[in-house]
Amino acid sequence: MSSPAAANITSVLKETRTFPPPADFAAKAHIKSQAEYEAMWQRAHDDPEGFWAEQAASLSWFKKWDKVHEWNEPFAKWFLGGKINVCYNCVDRHAEGARRNKPAILWEGEPGDTRVLTYADLHREVRKFANVLKDQGLKPGDRVTIYMPLIPEAAVAMLACARIGVTHSVIFGGFSDTAVADRNNDAQARMVITADGGWRRGKVVPLKHNVDAALDKSPTVEKCIVFNRCNQPVAMKAGRDLWWHELMATASEQCPAAELDSEHPLYILYTSGSTGKPKGVLHTTAGYLLGVSCTHRWVFDLREEDVFWCTADIGWVTGHSYSVYGPLCNGATTVMYEGAPDTPQKDRFWAIVEKYKVNTFYTAPTAIRAFLKWGNEWPQKRDLSSLRLLGTVGEPINPEAWMWYHEVIGGGRCPIVDTWWQTETGMILIAPLPGAIATKPGSATRPLPGVVADIVDKQGRSLPANQGGLLVIRKPWPAMLRTIFGDDERFKQQYWLQVPHVYFTADGSRRDDDGYFWIMGRVDDVLNVAGHRLSTMEVESALVHHPKVAEAAVVGKPDEIKGEGIACFVTLRAGNTPTEELKKELIQHVAKEIGALARPDEIRFTEALPKTRSGKIMRRLLRDIASGRQTTGDTTTLEDYSILAKLREEEE
């Protein structure tokens, strides 16, 4: 569990560049000026119920709510008494109207196969699969695990569950059988929906094989539906395992959307806890849908003709909120790509942008740093002129990666929306509105309308500008998590009792003189150097500022004199060679950039860093290596175990 024990964090990052919204972009934007943003934010602050009631009119309701909001700290309810259906809002209302023949999903498989599903196609597939689920005995409130590659059927399965009130738990298709079993058991899932396999870097990930091993340890699961994606031979257990295509062949297309309570559980999404035990974040129906649809429209300045690509897998909250539910609720065209960004070559993402004329591209800083490391020649081979807006998500972006993204991918013309939010928040909370807010490389800028964020000490007292502290949210928002599934006490302890009467994000941040938020990463990732608490993200930013460095991870190591020393793991840009001279140069560079206080004690060069399957650096494992300890705790989210082994070998 994150502890805010010592809240004040010394901020050393100095970044002064500012980029106003391009005039032609602002002229056409939904929110056209900072004054308009500030009026909207103030309206939401002064009358949150009135503000969110106005926004909720954009959704289709079976029965209007009786009350906008109820708050019994820390438990929230939104739109009490309302009846609504997420799937109806994401599919039916578009399929039955002018968007019937508009592409809902543009999909590309890693081997190069493609499909287009219009809203009418999606409507048909979702209704049929909802009937498949009902035919297997599922009813509202049951839980279903979805463990699939990034194919249209994954979205169909999610929407079909939402249509009939079944709560889904999507598990990223790279997780092990143990991780799947743990999540099945915690959710008490009755069914698993999977595929024979999925493509990743030219190989088939054996999903059904993993599920078979998981189901040996998942006593509540009764049925397993298998989609044939890769034509792989798989074991099918009689009475339990069923083929998707066989069930769909006889399924009826008639399936009305269930009229569900506003607070009906929509999904559980498991996120790793610091204890290693996964925690199931529970999101409900109306508030979540409203939050993701509004923020998708505001932050990405959505236009009817946009082709929107969020590169996240649906196994992560970003994929839930901004690949599926947000874009489809808004009647947008969303792009899905199954495979890796470097298969068959390192320009695969840019080839997809060129092919589908993508307008908005939303990806993680980890991916951006990988693109930067691979070199400019890959994006420069492709026509990226369709892009009008870029986004980042998942962790703070260092200013140099931001500048590369702006110049090389955006051609200097595309605003960048650096979005801060979490699995728990459901929707984006802090981000620039691209027609209204000037951006600063590395800052998520200002809270969105309806979001009251603050920087505080451990007693919950607001801190002055430019003082690092704990990032908290002071008021409830519609898409917030309702609890940790089956564990209200853990929900209270983790998010609401560590700093009094506010939602504690477990992130450090500072606010500058313009009211811009600079996220400094998790408070777990803070160094205690000679009595100063330093953000690892800021030291990493200084390293990546060096022209030879592509990516860096910084952790603390025991130091008898300073308490903690600074150990840096560095990946170089293509064409650069690790040398002792370069190590000294980097140490001097950090000291020059942010002061002698942050001078690294140790630089280690590595070809790659240990990351989760969503691309976040696993600093906990690097701390173990830097300290000479054996690795303990949960490693099920680690994407490539060979990286860890190689780092251990280098240590020895």
pLDDT band at residue 640 using 50, 70 and 90 as cut-offs = low
d(CA 26, CA 30): 8
Residues with Cβ within 8 Å of 318's Cβ and at least 6 positions away in sequence, in order, are: 310, 312, 362, 393, 394
Using alpha carbons, select from 266, 268, 263 the residue that is nearest to residue 162: 266
- pLDDT, one tens digit per residue, over 396-410 is 898 999 999 999 999
CATH architecture of 86-258: 3-Layer(aba) Sandwich (3.40)
d(CA 394, CA 644): 22
Strands across the sheet containing 602-605: 549-559, 563-572, 602-605
291 and 426 Cβ atoms separated by less than 8 Å: yes
- pLDDT, one tens digit per residue, over 498-518 is 999 999 999 999 999 999 999
Q: Is the pLDDT of residue 274 over 50?
A: no
When comparing pLDDT for 638 and 177, which is higher? 177
User: What pLDDT, on the 0 to 100 scale, is given for residue 396?
Assistant: 87
Chain CA centroid to CA 73, Å: 26
Phi, psi of 219 (to 5 degrees): -65, -20
Phi, psi of 395 (to 5 degrees): -170, 165
Q: Is the pLDDT of residue 272 over 70?
A: no
When comparing pLDDT for 178 and 421, which is higher? 421
* Angle, vertex CA 286, rays to CA 93 and CA 278, nearest 5: 120
d(CA 404, CA 412): 9
What is the three-class DSSP state of 183? helix
Place of tokens 């430019």: 466
What is the three-class DSSP state of 560? coil
Angle between the N-to-C axes of helices 536-544 and 580-594, in degrees from 0 to 180, rounded to the nearest 10: 120
d(CA 295, CA 308): 14
**Mean per-residue pLDDT, 65-89:** 98
Q: Does this chain's domain 23-85+264-303+359-519 share its CATH topology with 525-651? A: no
Q: Is the pLDDT of residue 28 over 80?
A: yes
Q: Is the pLDDT of residue 130 over 80?
A: yes
- pLDDT, one tens digit per residue, over 594-619 is 777 788 999 999 988 888 766 778 88
Among the ranges given (123-137, 214-228, 399-413, 517-531), the one the predictor scored with the smallest mean pLDDT: 517-531
User: What pLDDT, on the 0 to 100 scale, is given for residue 12?
Assistant: 59
d(CA 442, CA 368): 13
Q: Is the pLDDT of residue 633 over 70?
A: no
pLDDT band at residue 627 using 50, 70 and 90 as cut-offs = confident
What is the three-class DSSP state of 483? strand
User: What pLDDT, on the 0 to 100 scale, is given for residue 273?
Assistant: 52
- pLDDT, one tens digit per residue, over 37-73 is 999 999 999 999 999 999 999 999 999 999 999 999 9
Mean model confidence pLDDT for the chain: 92
Superfamily for the 23-85+264-303+359-519 domain:
ANL, N-terminal domain (3.40.50.12780)
User: What pLDDT, on the 0 to 100 scale, is given for residue 631?
Assistant: 63
Q: Is the pLDDT of residue 483 over 90?
A: yes
d(CA 226, CA 560): 56
pTM of the model: 0.87
Q: Is the pLDDT of residue 488 over 50?
A: yes
- pLDDT, one tens digit per residue, over 439-477 is 999 999 999 999 999 999 999 999 999 999 999 999 999
pLDDT band at residue 2 using 50, 70 and 90 as cut-offs = very low
Q: Which two tokens stand for residue 546?
A: 């060096």
Phi, psi of 410 (to 5 degrees): -90, 0
Using alpha carbons, select from 513, 448, 610, 460 the residue that is nearest to residue 43: 448
Q: Is 239 left (phi over 0), alpha (psi -120 to 50) or beta?
A: left
User: What pLDDT, on the 0 to 100 scale, is given for residue 524?
Assistant: 72
Per DSSP (E only), the strands in 250-349 are: 260-261, 265-271, 279-284, 307-310, 333-337
Superfamily for the 525-651 domain:
ANL, C-terminal domain (3.30.300.30)
Rg (CA), the chain: 24
pLDDT band at residue 362 using 50, 70 and 90 as cut-offs = very high
What are the residue ranges spanned by the domains of the chain?
23-85+264-303+359-519, 86-258, 525-651
110 and 343 Cβ atoms separated by less than 8 Å: yes
- pLDDT, one tens digit per residue, over 562-585 is 678 899 999 999 999 999 999 999
Q: Is the pLDDT of residue 197 over 50?
A: yes
Phi, psi of 194 (to 5 degrees): -145, -170
